[in-house]
Homo-oligomer: A and B are copies of this chain.
C-alpha cells in the first residue's frame, strides 16, 4: 500500500567535492527545466546535497505512475540523455552514478512524530 499516490524517480550520484556538487545541481536543474518540468503530472525535483560535499540525490515527484509513464513514452528520451551526457562531461570534477536497477519508486510508508499524551 502506497502512502501517497505519487510516483518518484531518484537520481543518485557521488561526486568529488562541493564544487562538483554545486555544478551538478545547476546542470541537472537546467535539464529538468528544459526537458521535464512541462510534462503533465510533473510536481517537483528536489536536490539533496550531502553536508560532506560528496553526494547528490535528485528526487523527482510525479502526480501518478501514469503521468510518469506518459512522460517516458512521449518525451524526447534521446535528446534528454544526450543533454545529461553533456552535463556530466562539462563538470570540472567527476560524478559517478549510484543508481541500480530501475530508478522508479513509490513511498510505501511514512513514520511521523510520536504522539505523546
* Residues of chain A having any CB pair with chain B under 8 Å: 3, 8, 10, 12, 14, 25, 29, 32-33, 37-38, 42-52, 54-55, 57, 59, 98, 100-114, 116
A111 to B11, CA, bound (A): 14
Q: Interface on chain A toward B: helix, strand, loop, or mixed SS?
A: strand
- Residues of B contacting A111 in the complex (Cβ-Cβ under 8 angstroms): 29, 32-33, 37, 44-45
Check B37–A112 contact: CB distance below 8 A.
yes
Copies of this chain, tallied across the complex = 2
Residue of B nearest to A96 (CB): B100
Check A57–B10 contact: CB distance below 8 A.
yes
**Contact of A48 (CB < 8 Å), options: B42, B43, B44, B107:** B107
